[in-house]
Structure 1
Amino acid sequence: MNKYKKKSKRKWFLIFLVFVAFVYVNNSSLLATPKNDSPILLAHRGLAQTFSLEGVENDTCTAQRIYEPEHPFLENTIPSMEAAFQAGADIVEFDIKPTKDGQFAVFHDWTLDCRTNGQGMAKDYTMAELKELDVGYGYTADQGKTYPFRGKGVGLMPSMDEVLTHFPDKSFLIHIKSNDPAEGVQLAEYLAKLPEERLNQLTVYGGDEPIASLKESLPQVRVMSMATLKAGLIPYILIGWTGYVPESLQHTQLHIPEKIAPWLWGFPNRFQNRMDQADTRVIIVGGDGSDFSSGFDSLEDVQRLPASYTGGIWTNRIDRIAPIYNRNR
């Protein structure tokens, strides 16, 4: 009986070792297809003024806490996007808000009061009225002693149509800032008029409800929301060790915090291969996921990434990050 038990234990121990070996090899770089590509660089809001993220909440006026300006560009404006692409960005992210006359303004904040000389919400104004505002009005790096961009941002708030027309061959990540499903429907109606090759250059992310309504109307568009992120990553965490990629991870986008990424099966090389085969774009953002605006904004930040990483990098300082990859254009 003792001999039988010993043999049985040995047998199960060997099975366990084989299982561990399989999981290790199947998710290691040994089976990864090598890529010589450099990472995709995603410029958050173009080339913009940056600020401390410490203590930032949904209603924090970030224009009132910027660092001393190192460049003249303001977020979500055509000049800031031009500067980002010229610096070497592959994709530029911008935020949209519906207007009173059925357009989308490119603007980040819930209200106009912080960043501009206007008041209220973008939806209470026509696009022409929003054009009259100064989007540089509220910026200060010294608690209101000086306002270095005041008077320089009049007319710089673009419509989404202006942006896409101005950059006909560039890739964008469009951010729906609300959780209103009607905004997803409105955006889907706009995007449906674009040719397929243009749609392939656009990705949309935002609240669960508008993203769901947009995806229902335009299933071919690459999207991301917290719901799609969970729907894809949870099953992958459970069974991704086998190499299986769930249907929910096909043709989508993932924003993965750097502190979570190492826990994904096969990260970075094998995981990236699987996502490439699924036509899914991987973007690494800074931190632990508590603030998805946190990016890789310095050489020290980039050095935390695996040397072989070839996915996307989220940055608020494309002017600093692109030269690291010799991407200045």
Structure 2
Amino acid sequence: MKKIAAVALVVVIAIVWLLNTSLLAPPPSGNAKILAHRGIHQVFHSEGLDNDTCTAERIETPRHSYLENTIASMRAAMESGADVVELDVHLTPDRQFAVFHDWTLDCRTDGSGVTQETPMSELKTLDIGYGYTADGGKSFPFRGQGAGQMPTLTEVFKALPEGRFLINFKSERREEGATLAVLLRFHPEWRKQVFGVYGGTAPTQETLRLVPGLRGYDRQSTIACLGRYAAYGWTGIVPDACRDTLIIVPGNYARFLWGWPDRFAARMQAAGSEIILLGPYSGGDFTSGIDSTDDLAFVPEGFSGYVWTNKAETIAPLLGKRPGAATDQANRQ
């Protein structure tokens, strides 16, 4: 009986291996694509961050003049090689989407109060570079440079008609999703610019309900997809929660996914989903990026999904120099 059990175990292991090894699966065609988080922006130290941390007060020594979520920073990201730019929105009392990260204005700007409670007409008067400092408040290198630079989502669509954007809802207001759906209904030419939506569950799910074919995710849908796939993905069955969506994969957990990288990618591609590869996850939110040469080790050779980065100006050229990238690019032309 012990021999039979041992043989049975070996057979099961062999079947699981055959179903999930990438050695027997060709890599998906195409190059890795860049998803630029907040455009090109001032990066900051992430140690000890919490929800109340003012990140503008802990930026690294500036290497460029771009401020996050501005049209200039998005254009620069696209010129650096970004295929998609992530941006953050708040629906204001005058029914416009302000493109700005923070829930409140006090950290980055010379204003105060809750972003979504402030009319866009007032937000347009603020200096969004006011609060940035890299030396503990001894100097503020961007004061005066961000005056009037907070855009509306409409302005972004008009200024960057060739851009594609991942829209982050910062609230849990369902009306934000409905308002975005109405905006796209009245301006169908902008629909192709929306790569996807994510963030608050209520607005994200409302947008996905009202805009056919749009992809998106929230924390719950991500956990449902990856959790169910971990449970029975070894069979090759893709859970419904992983179909026709955006699947975010933390780089340090990717190797635990059944079939990673090539067979997993093929399954998700067949299910109508796109993969977004993040940097290492360590218990915070899902915005850690592939931001250094060390982080590039998380990106498999032949990966053709989206690479989330806070440093598009650095990572896009490095990905372009990886072995095989030139061949993949030539095959796409």
TM-score interval, normalised by the smaller of the two chains: over 0.9
The alpha-carbon deviation at position 213 of structure 1 amounts to 2.1
* Native 8 Å contact 1:169 1:198 kept in 2: no
Identify the match of residue 312 of structure 1 among 306, 316, 324.
Answer: 306
- Deviates most, 22-31 or 314-323: 22-31
In structure 2, what is the Cα distance between the partners aligned to 1:61 and 1:256?
27
Identify the match of residue 206 of structure 1 among 199, 204, 224.
Answer: 199
| 1:237 is aligned to 2:237 | no
* Native 8 Å contact 1:191 1:199 kept in 2: no
The alpha-carbon deviation at position 125 of structure 1 amounts to 2.6
- Deviates most, 289-298 or 46-55: 289-298
Match of 1:246 in 2: 239
Match of 1:299 in 2: 293
In structure 2, what is the Cα distance between the partners aligned to 1:285 and 1:138?
28
Identify the match of residue 33 of structure 2 among 19, 23, 40.
Answer: 40
- Deviates most, 290-299 or 211-220: 211-220
Match of 1:3 in 2: none
Match of 2:324 in 1: none
Deviations 1:192-227 (A, max 9, x none): 334388347420001122222222222421111011
Match of 1:128 in 2: 121
Match of 1:102 in 2: 95
Deviations 1:21-73 (A, max 9, x none): 11111111133233352211110000000000111111111001100000010
In structure 1, what is the Cα distance between the partners aligned to 2:124 and 2:284?
33
* Native 8 Å contact 1:98 1:183 kept in 2: yes
> In angstroms, what is the RMSD of aligned CA positions?
1.8
- Deviates most, 190-199 or 106-115: 190-199
In structure 1, what is the Cα distance between the partners aligned to 2:187 and 2:245?
19
In structure 1, what is the Cα distance between the partners aligned to 2:6 and 2:73?
60
Match of 1:114 in 2: 107
Deviations 1:2-28 (A, max 9, x none): xxxx4xx43333232222111111111
Deviations 1:169-208 (A, max 9, x none): 2211000011222222222222333438834742000112
Match of 2:329 in 1: none
- Deviates most, 28-37 or 42-51: 28-37
Unaligned residue ranges in structure 2 (runs of 5+): 322-333
Match of 2:45, as an amino acid? Answer: S
Please show how residues 54-203 of structure 1 align to structure 2 within 5 Å.
Answer: 54-195=47-188, 198-199=191-192, 201-203=194-196
The alpha-carbon deviation at position 235 of structure 1 amounts to 1.6
Q: Please give the secondary structure, in 2, of the residue aligned with 1:22.
A: helix
Match of 2:320 in 1: 326
- Deviates most, 241-250 or 207-216: 207-216
Match of 1:136, as an amino acid? Answer: G
In structure 1, what is the Cα distance between the partners aligned to 2:241 and 2:118?
38
Q: Please give the secondary structure, in 2, of the residue aligned with 1:163.
A: helix
* Native 8 Å contact 2:184 2:190 kept in 1: no
Q: Please give the secondary structure, in 2, of the residue aligned with 1:146.
A: coil
* Native 8 Å contact 2:28 2:265 kept in 1: no
- Deviates most, 114-123 or 33-42: 33-42
Q: Please give the secondary structure, in 2, of the residue aligned with 1:209.
A: helix
Distance 1:222 1:95, change over 3 A: same
Percent identical:
46
| 1:21 is aligned to 2:14 | yes
In structure 1, what is the Cα distance between the partners aligned to 2:287 and 2:225?
21
TM-score (ref. length: structure 2): 0.91
Match of 2:314, as an amino acid? Answer: R
The alpha-carbon deviation at position 234 of structure 1 amounts to 1.8
* Native 8 Å contact 1:92 1:171 kept in 2: yes
| 1:261 is aligned to 2:258 | no
Match of 2:59, as an amino acid? Answer: I
Deviations 1:259-288 (A, max 9, x none): 221111011111011111112111111222
Match of 1:246, as an amino acid? Answer: P
* Native 8 Å contact 2:28 2:303 kept in 1: no
Runs of 4+ in 1 over 6 A off after TM superposition: none
* Native 8 Å contact 1:100 1:122 kept in 2: no
* Native 8 Å contact 1:315 1:321 kept in 2: yes
- Deviates most, 29-38 or 266-275: 29-38
Match of 2:318, as an amino acid? Answer: I
